[in-house]
Amino acid sequence: MFFWERQPSITWATVKSVLGDLPVAKVWYKPCPDPGTTASRISGEDRRRFNIEDVGWLPTRGDYLTLVSQSDIYFAPRRYEGIGMSFLEAMALGKLVVAADHATMNEYITHGHNGLLYDLADPRPVFTGRELPTIMRNAARDSREYANEWRRGQAALKNIIADACAQRSPPLGQLGHWFRGWMDRGA
């Protein structure tokens, strides 16, 4: 399992509550919280029971993705996400993503189908005996479809922006012409 503790709303205590009795062979724990916050303390007993290994700041994105790829479970680190690249990358790698039932996670994850969602106000075990490998396969498949959908929508989005800019007086009109030229170059 991989858990990057980012915010005080989702700590090791939250993770432990949601995991319940699920047997976990190893936890990669990244105690690198967002600025202005501190990581929670993990007891020696939990460190032994869950085979927790701390990882600090990783030198490259590739190093981070290597650790995520070595894990079966990815615990989403935030209560809310903007785009949610961290958990989307984990889904694309076929990982079981466990996340708070909040935006953006619940806009991509359907509980029990392609990931697991939990109530952050009352974190309880969410592993119900469903076929976890099936959920993980669904995660990988669905993330590919989300990426394809985004790519298909990019051209339409670029046209909407260019048309809106072109209909405005300078300088937005000039921006629309520049934008359309940029699109025609294959951007």
Claim to verify: residue 110 and residue 40 sit in the same structural domain: yes
Q: What is the pLDDT of residues 165-176, one digit of tens each?
A: 666 655 555 555
Instruction: Show the domain range for 63.
Output: 2-139
- Same-domain check for residues 169 and 131: no
Residue 53 β-bridge partners: 28
Residues 68 and 10 occupy one common structural domain: yes
Say if residue 40 is in the same domain as residue 89: yes
Residue whose entry in the numeric block shows the structure tokens 């699920």: 22
* Model pLDDT for residues 152-167, shown as the tens digit of each residue: 888 777 777 777 766 6
66 phi/psi in degrees, rounded to 5 = -65, -45
What does DSSP say about strands 52-54 and 2-4: parallel, antiparallel, or unpaired? Answer: unpaired
Same domain, 89 and 172: no
More confident residue, 183 or 167: 167
Residues 28-72 have pLDDT tens digits of 999 999 999 999 999 999 999 999 999 988 899 999 999 999 999
Co-location of 74 and 149 in the same domain: no
CATH code for the domain in which residue 46 is found: 3.40.50.2000
Is there a single domain that holds both residue 6 and residue 45? Answer: yes
Question: In terms of domains, do 41 and 86 share one?
Answer: yes
